[in-house]
Amino acid sequence: MAEQTLVSAEWLADMVKRGLVGPRLRILDSSWYLPMTKRDAKKEFAQSHIPGASFFDIDECSDRTSAFDHTLPSEQFFAEYVGGLGIGNDSHVVVYDASDLGAFSCTRVWWMFRLFGHTEVSVLNGGFRSWVREGHPVTGTLTRPEPAHFTATINRAWVKSFEDITDNITTQGFQVVDVRSYARFWGTEPEPKEGIQPGHIPGSICMPFFRFLDDKGMMLSTDELKEFFKQSQVDLSKPLCGSCGSGVTACHMVLAAHLCGAPGASVYDGSWYEWFTKAPPEHIISEIKRS
């Protein structure tokens, strides 16, 4: 199957109806929410999900030794984790989440698969919100797929470290795109994580992730996405790096750039939470004083 970056609810519902969910087509609910939302992604999945879907936990599939949330796991850990979900190297993977926005955490999992060398991965356009709105079936029945063998090979050029971002302030080798809200970027609205104050990395550009979506939770058209990049003064012909709070919604920018014909944008995995923790005061740009 040729690579499909986005698939529609209608297309996926047809696959489900035809009984094609299996080793060659795996569906992953990759819902994850900020603690402030009081939503329990696993509990919601157990109650209602797309038939045949498995749950992908970005906190579980991470480097548990890291001081930061859902840091990328090793190649071996990722391979074993997704293999346990019945995903092999010949599986087409469709990811979605149940965010009211239409997409929140699923783009992180889309990016992770590509990062670890698996290009046969798609995002369900509009997410579970679109699936339900269109009247497709849901279930609370859990399916346990047969484990599969998966080989992962990481593309390290797609991940930026604290040191990489620090060096880039001087070298300006890539554009840092921060997808948090404008208020968090400028430092006028609090961060959702305790102990972290708002602000931004010197030289970074703000493109709030939710603006890549329309009011129905669908990705904007390619022309609309290109216009958003242009208005934000982000050059799609030059290297890009996404950042956010903890490396999740940054992947919306990576997906948007990919749809615009600019694949290979990187992600600052530690994002703002690591930056605020480690950076010197002069590298915390904010309209409010740091306390």
Q: What angle is formed at CA 28 by the lines to CA 124 and CA 30, rounded to 5 degrees?
A: 85
Asked if residue 133 lies in contact with residue 14, where contact means CB atoms within 8 angstroms, the answer is: no
| Residue recorded with tokens 């790096």 | 241
> Helix/strand/coil (H, E, C) string of 108-166?
HHHHHHHHCCCCCEEEECCHHHHHHHCCCCCECCCCCCCCCCCCCCCCHHHEECHHHHH
Report the alpha-carbon distance of residue 261 to residue 288 in Å, rounded: 38
Report the alpha-carbon distance of residue 92 to residue 35 in Å, rounded: 31
Asked if residue 255 lies in contact with residue 249, where contact means CB atoms within 8 angstroms, the answer is: no
Q: In the beta sheet, which residues pair with residue 205?
A: 177
Report the alpha-carbon distance of residue 9 to residue 138 in Å, rounded: 12
Q: In the beta sheet, which residues pair with residue 178?
A: 206, 243
For residue 7, how many other CB atoms are within 10 A of its CB?
A: 17
- DSSP character at residue 268: E
> Which are the catalytic amino acids?
244
Q: What angle is formed at CA 147 by the lines to CA 144 and CA 107, rounded to 5 degrees?
A: 80
